[in-house]
Amino acid sequence: MGDIIQLLPDNVANQIAAGEVVQRPASVVKELLENAIDAEATIIKLIVKEGGKTLIQVVDNGRGMSVTDARMSLERHATSKITSADDLFHLNTKGFRGEALASIAAIAHLEMQTRQEIDEVGTMIRIEGGDLITQEVVVTPKGTSIAVKNLFFNIPARRKFLKSTQVEHRHIVDEFHRVAIAHPSIQFYFYSNGSELFNLPAVNLKKRIVRIFGQKTNEKLVPIKEETQLVVIDGFVIKPEYAKKSRGEQFFFVNNRFVKSPYLHHAVNSAFEGLLKPDTYPGYFIFLEVDPESIDINIHPTKTEIKFDDEHSLYAILKSCIKHSLGQFNIRPVLDFNKDPNLDTSYASTQQFGIPPMVSVDRTFNPFSTSEDKKKLGGFKKHTGQWEGMFLDLEGKEEEKDDFSSFTVESELISGSIFTEREGIDRIGVPTFQLKRKYLVSTIKSGMLIIDQGRAHQRILYEKFLSSITIRKTISQQLLFPISLEFSKSEITAIREIKESLIALGFALEFISDTRIEISGIPPLVKESELPTILDELISDYQSEIKSEGYTESEILSKALCKSLAVKTGDILDLESQQALVNSLFGCKESKISPFNKLIYITITDLEIENKFL
């Protein structure tokens, strides 16, 4: 056989490289925005259509390119940012690999218009799948506009692999957030399908965060600051009582570049230790400035993972810095940091009937403590109301009873398996007791049953909410005074998307403006005082879960709501509640696994017990 090795044609090589650089429309958004920033633009516009599947365009007022550079920029390994491998260690630009534009051009229709300040006229280039279609002279403002259409048009397999428009849109919004937070002094616009999603004027970091995540964020931020030889830390953490049940707002920037670092994330978590309620996650916007020579950001092609030379010290410094700030804030809780009168509209002042979000942080909580410190438990009081609510379901109102009677039918089916005949249908009267404020223990035909109370209640509520949404038969608790709540624009978009399901769950709501809704009715189990928190959680869960797909909207919402409303570890349940819980659990369609795929109960057989005594 003769020689068989040949060099890949450029367009094939570019398509392969594109596989690394461009996973989805959001990757294109990231590359284009970063190029605009590297070109020192002060105003950047992002325009997308259909989650970026049909159009992604970035327009900047940066330095633009010469005729030759415009053409060159679309070649592989074409970069103005480094000239030798050594430069890699002193980077202060976003890009440096010189392959983004070439890769994008290889798998899409790309149109570039660009002009430098010193040039009279600019250049327009059209490329389709790596082939140059036209290059001509145009009259265009200073700066660069790059439009990317029909991404993956020539790689059908990749195009098919794209998720729904909604999901791809979410990824773009996430990417936009990261870039916009890292560069508050640049003005950003973001248009999607012709409507303006964000208009972010050049401001400071705090105002930028507030502008993106909504007015109410203002009161949640605690500044952090630290300067050592190794690192300069700056930014904000979210007060522990506003911690969310989903990992929403968690941002690390190293030398102004968004990165993911499980290790540093752990440092933040440990600084919050003891301040967070179970199953909540801290929010943060943390900027670390380190010597570029002490990091390697190039270990991952999309450049979000990072390696530090001295991780251990960084960990310790970050942790103590956050602890310090949180400590300060604990001692002086009324202090408003960096108070900015323009942004100072909290819930309280905008509601007709001001109810501030009341989330209690139980600093003394210990799931294994004894019953003497009962009184200290914040969680107990909070949830008794919901328990009463649950009883209404079981014994109370007409419509609710329907739900329950259908449960009973189901439980007859199950009774054959683990309960004795007498216990099968109605376990009221069967002994139960609560263990460690976490488990319910009871007897069954074959031995002993240990139920995780939180997971069991989640399952019960989940099925209830799911059926509410599906059969659209709900009760709403009318509020005496409607509550008006402020949200960010993207949250409002999410609320619009799930409006029908929210109504089916028992919320009565109306859109007042593009950042405000008015609530006049809530589901029976929701307490008015907890409404803002619960809605926040619902929306952020919806926004983050929508990305994972595989779940329907009803499932996502039912999951989010049951997580918020279910009893928790630490809640004390009286006998009646315990029995009702066990009863309803075994009336569920699925009683073994929680909506979050966790085991709800275990059984220990007589034999296993007897064997222990051998």
Interactions with ligand ADP, residue window 39-58 (CB under 6 A): 39
Residue 62 binding target from Mg ion, ligand ADP, none, CB below 5 to 8 Å by type:
ligand ADP
37/172 with CB nearer Mg ion: 37
- Give the one residue of 52, 59, 60, 220 binding ligand ADP; rule: CB under 6 A: 60
Q: Which residues pair with 519 in a beta bridge?
A: 483, 509
Q: Order of strands across the sheet with 221-227?
A: 221-227, 231-238, 284-290, 250-254, 257-259
39/461 with CB nearer ligand ADP: 39
Q: Which helix (H) or strand (E) holds 454?
A: helix 453-471
Number of residues that bind ligand ADP (CB under 6 A): 23
98/378 with CB nearer ligand ADP: 98
Nearest one of 516, 490, 536, 567 to 242, comparing CA atoms: 536
Task: Tell me if 490 contacts ligand ADP by CB under 6 A.
Answer: no
Residue 113 binding target from Mg ion, ligand ADP, none, CB below 5 to 8 Å by type:
none
- Give the one residue of 31, 393, 530, 541 binding ligand ADP; rule: CB under 6 A: 31
What is the identity of the amino acid at 47?
Answer: I
- Pick the piece of the chain touching ligand ADP (CB under 6 A) from 3-11, 89-97, 308-316, 340-348: 89-97
Helices (H) and strands (E) in the chain, counts: 19, 22
Residue 78 binding target from ligand ADP, Mg ion, none, CB below 5 to 8 Å by type:
ligand ADP
Residue carrying the six token digits 């920029």: 73
- Pick the piece of the chain touching ligand ADP (CB under 6 A) from 61-69, 117-125, 263-271, 566-574: 61-69
**Residue of this chain nearest to Mg ion (CB atom):** 95
Tell me the HSE value of 579 on the side-chain side, using a 13 A CA sphere.
12
Residue 73 CB, nearest approach to ligand ADP (Å): 3
Task: Tell me if 95 contacts ligand ADP by CB under 6 A.
Answer: yes
Contact 582, 459 (CB under 8 A): no
95/454 with CB nearer Mg ion: 95
Task: Tell me if 81 contacts ligand ADP by CB under 6 A.
Answer: yes
Pairwise CA distance, residues 376 & 389, whole Å: 23
- Give the one residue of 14, 15, 27, 35 binding Mg ion; rule: CB under 5 A: 35
Nearest one of 572, 571, 604, 580 to 429, comparing CA atoms: 580
35/488 with CB nearer ligand ADP: 35
Q: Per the structure block, which two tokens stand in for 334?
A: 């009324």
Q: Order of strands across the sheet with 477-486?
A: 477-486, 516-522, 508-513
Pairwise CA distance, residues 106 & 127, whole Å: 8
- Do the strands 122-128 and 187-192 form a parallel or antiparallel pair, or are they unpaired? unpaired
| Cβ neighbour number for residue 320 with a 10 Å cutoff | 13
Q: Per the structure block, which two tokens stand in for 127?
A: 């490329």
Residue 81 CB, nearest approach to ligand ADP (Å): 5
What is the identity of the amino acid at 135?
Answer: Q
Q: Per the structure block, which two tokens stand in for 393?
A: 């379901």
**Residue of this chain nearest to ligand ADP (CB atom):** 95
75/528 with CB nearer ligand ADP: 75
103/490 with CB nearer Mg ion: 103
Strands (DSSP E) found in 163-311: 187-192, 195-200, 221-227, 231-238, 250-254, 257-259, 284-290, 295-296, 307-308
81/401 with CB nearer ligand ADP: 81
Residue 545 binding target from ligand ADP, Mg ion, none, CB below 5 to 8 Å by type:
none
Task: Tell me if 580 contacts ligand ADP by CB under 6 A.
Answer: no
Vertex 462: Cα angle to 461 and 468 (nearest 5): 85
Pairwise CA distance, residues 116 & 61, whole Å: 10
Residue 39 binding target from Mg ion, ligand ADP, none, CB below 5 to 8 Å by type:
ligand ADP
302/405 with CB nearer Mg ion: 302
99/537 with CB nearer ligand ADP: 99
Distances in Å between the Cα of 96 and the Cα atoms of 106, 169, 287, 457 are: 19, 27, 21, 52
- Pick the piece of the chain touching ligand ADP (CB under 6 A) from 93-101, 225-233, 428-436, 574-582: 93-101
Residue 62 CB, nearest approach to ligand ADP (Å): 5
Residue 35 CB, nearest approach to Mg ion (Å): 4
What is the identity of the amino acid at 329?
Answer: F
- Give the one residue of 32, 70, 74, 100 binding Mg ion; rule: CB under 5 A: 100
- Give the one residue of 11, 42, 80, 256 binding ligand ADP; rule: CB under 6 A: 80
Pairwise CA distance, residues 112 & 71, whole Å: 10
- Give the one residue of 17, 22, 29, 36 binding ligand ADP; rule: CB under 6 A: 36
Task: Tell me if 95 contacts Mg ion by CB under 5 A.
Answer: yes
Contact 281, 245 (CB under 8 A): yes
Interactions with ligand ADP, residue window 116-175 (CB under 6 A): 144
Q: Which residues bind Mg ion (CB under 5 A)?
A: 35, 95, 100
Q: Interface residues with ligand ADP (CB under 6 A)?
A: 31, 35-36, 39, 60, 62-65, 73, 78-81, 95-102, 144
